[in-house]
A = this chain, B = another copy of it.
């Protein structure tokens, strides 16, 4: 029964909805198929494998995150912009944890993934760093540092690794961002010297 006008995009969208509502760990092709009123095997007319679908969802997630960041930093400069960038990142991780997890598990090993998603990941940060007087090399390093801080913080909080002490998590978060801003300013001085 070649019936529904079921497109590849429909399948990806449906998978995203499912992951967001039911959680990434309990996602399966058979349930996805069932939700689309289809048998699991039929999915293979639209996708090559589970991994490919997974990767596609990862691209979606990254572009969503990137968009949120670009919106957040619009019209802002330097420390203001850094904070806005970090906030957008933090909120995304908190509000859409299951989708965020998909980004993490996206294996960037293939050159494919790096080229397709790499730019979106890096772009907003590089724009913000553009407001600081830094060498290109410094910017590339600092972008890695920023992403490490943000990703590390979000995933540890998500995993429950901050529950040893009953102190405010957002306070810790603000301290982390302040640390990065300090590093930025310090790097600027070094660039001059």
Contacts and interface: CB of A to CB of B under 8 A. Distances in A.
Interface of A: 104, 106-109, 113-114, 118-119, 121-122, 137, 140-142, 144-145, 147-153, 155-156, 159-165, 167, 169, 171-172, 175-176, 178-180, 182-183, 186-187
A170 to B, nearest CB: 10
A145 B107 contact: no
A178 B183 contact: yes
Kindly report how many copies of this chain are found in the complex they form together: 2
5 contacts: A108-B160, A108-B161, A118-B164, A144-B153, A152-B152
B147 A149 contact: no
A104 B145 contact: no
A177 to B, nearest CB: 9
Given A147-B161, A151-B155, 15 more contacts: A108-B161, A114-B163, A119-B164, A140-B165, A140-B172, A141-B167, A141-B171, A142-B175, A144-B162, A145-B149, A145-B175, A149-B152, A152-B152, A155-B155, A175-B183
B159 A144 contact: no
B144 A172 contact: yes
Nearest to A150: B152
Contacts of A171: 141
Given A104-B155, A137-B167, A148-B156, A182 B172 contact: no
A163 B107 CA distance: 12
B108 A176 contact: no
Contacts of A147: 152, 156, 161
Contact of A107 (B122, B160, B186): B160
